[in-house]
Amino acid sequence: MKNQKEVVLNQFLALRESNPEKALKLLMDTYGDAMNGIVGKILVHEERIEDALQIGFTKVWKNLEEYSPDKSSIFTWLLSIFRNTAIDILRKENNRKIQSIDSSVYD
């Protein structure tokens, strides 16, 4: 009997070429809550969390064909995309704060 991870992997691999929209929905339904939790630990504000999830799933959509089960599990692949997306948002936010502080210092 296959475990849940194997079932999702096999469904995803079968769908990503024939029906990529359904493949993305499968990932969103299966891993969306986990990605929300991961992003939520990095970004505190709900608006930023939602931004990170939207950007992250857009990146997943654009790179469906890049996933290789030989390199990592789907969860690990998604984790790296969403963690890096959240960190990028955090960096941009911090850079804006630094720039605004710098401009007020020199005014």
pLDDT tens readout for residues 22-80:
999 999 999 999 999 999 999 989 999 999 999 999 999 999 999 999 999 999 999 99
Cα torsion through 13, 16, 17, 19, rounded to 10: 130
Per-residue confidence (pLDDT) for residue 97, from 0 to 100: 60
Per-residue confidence (pLDDT) for residue 63, from 0 to 100: 95
- Report the alpha-carbon angle 64-4-56, nearest 5: 30
Per-residue confidence (pLDDT) for residue 100, from 0 to 100: 54
Of the pLDDT bands very low, low, confident and very high (cuts 50, 70, 90), residue 4 is confident
Sign for the CA dihedral angle at 11, 35, 28, 51 comes to negative
